[in-house]
Chains A and B, each alone.
Chain A
Amino acid sequence: MVTPNHYLALSAVLFAIGSIGVVVRRNLVIIFMSVELMLNAANLAFVAVAYGRGLMSGQSIVFFVMTVAAAEAAVGLAVILAMFRNRQTVNADDIALLRW
């Protein structure tokens, strides 16, 4: 039988994959997509817990997380766009003007 714990474990794997993407990749758009993956892992965890505990609040929370993700996408892509106009790169290593 598939229990909510199966989904929780899957969400942990997705979260780990997303976080490694943020650390390893240098393409800004792909880093950002990895962050989206992490948010989705959290969403899956919320929905699984909601089901496992019979609580609706988890589903409401997912609703808010989706809003946040949409807002982040709009602002984040605008930031990347503004950057790209001044400098033709989306590689995090090329942005060494300010020191890490």
Chain B
Amino acid sequence: MSPYLFYPLACLTIAGALGVVLNNNPVRSALSLVATLFLLAVYYIALQAHLVAALQIIVYAGAVMVLFLFVITLLNLSPDPADRTSPLFGAAALGSALLLAVVLGRALWATTLPGAANTPLPEGFGTTVVLARQLFSEYLVAFELTSILLLVAVVGAVVLAKRDPSPADMDAPAPGREA
């Protein structure tokens, strides 16, 4: 990726991330996150991770963020002016986050990745075929484990989100009933 493309995009990404954190309105926060996730997909393409980029847009920016927006609208969340911690605490948190970003960013900037500049990428790097082979050999256990992980998440989400026929639940106020 050329620097003339990278730096403007990096600024946009950081702006998007700040938008997630600083917006008072949860819907705007979520939309900023969607924008950030899209921009990350652009980097993935530049880094030869084509399948990952596609998944990022379809699964992450698509499915996961739709779920977020769905819940935000379901709960009818409005901007909350009280949503701030005390200025002192906020300043301390900001300071430590800046420190983290500077120290970590500088260190990562200077770190050496063997093969970064001189050696060419292995053949087929980033193709779906190579990724799939790896998922079904080296990462077979991990891959199978994700099926259990997703099953647990589905069962758990249903247990927590479905309405029970218990008296206490019947008395619950209206919002959320449309679920």
A and B touch in their complex, CB below 8 angstroms: yes
Please classify the interface of chain B as helix (H, G, I), strand (E, B), loop, or mixed, using the class held by over half of its residues.
helix
Measured in the bound complex, the distance between the Cα atoms of B130 and A72 in whole Å is 28
- Residues from chain A with Cβ under 8 Å of B109 in the complex: 5-6, 8-9
Tell me if B21 and A18 are in contact (CB < 8 A). yes
In the assembled complex, A78 has its CB within 8 A of some CB on chain B: yes
Tell me if A57 and B134 are in contact (CB < 8 A). yes
Q: Which of B62-80 contact A (CB under 8 A)?
A: 63-64, 67-68, 71-72, 74-75, 77, 80
Identify A63's interface contact among B48, B116, B131, CB under 8 A: B131
Q: What is the interface size of chain A, counting residues whose CB is below 8 A from a CB of the partner?
A: 75
Interface size class on chain B is 35 or more
> Assuming the A-B contacts A7-B47, A82-B160, are A60 and B105 also in contact, with contact meaning beta carbons closer than 8 angstroms in the complex?
no
Measured in the bound complex, the distance between the Cα atoms of B93 and A67 in whole Å is 30
Tell me if A59 and B26 are in contact (CB < 8 A). no
Tell me if B75 and A84 are in contact (CB < 8 A). yes
Measured in the bound complex, the distance between the Cα atoms of B21 and A3 in whole Å is 28
Q: Which of B142-179 contact A (CB under 8 A)?
A: 142-143, 146, 149-150, 152-154, 156-161, 169, 172-173, 175-176, 179
Tell me if B121 and A54 are in contact (CB < 8 A). yes
Measured in the bound complex, the distance between the Cα atoms of B49 and A63 in whole Å is 11
Measured in the bound complex, the distance between the Cα atoms of B158 and A77 in whole Å is 11
Tell me if B115 and A52 are in contact (CB < 8 A). yes
- Residues from chain B with Cβ under 8 Å of A32 in the complex: 68
Tell me if B60 and A66 are in contact (CB < 8 A). yes
- List 8 additional contacts besides A20-B21, A77-B71; criterion CB under 8 Å: A8-B109, A9-B105, A12-B105, A62-B49, A62-B52, A73-B68, A74-B67, A74-B157
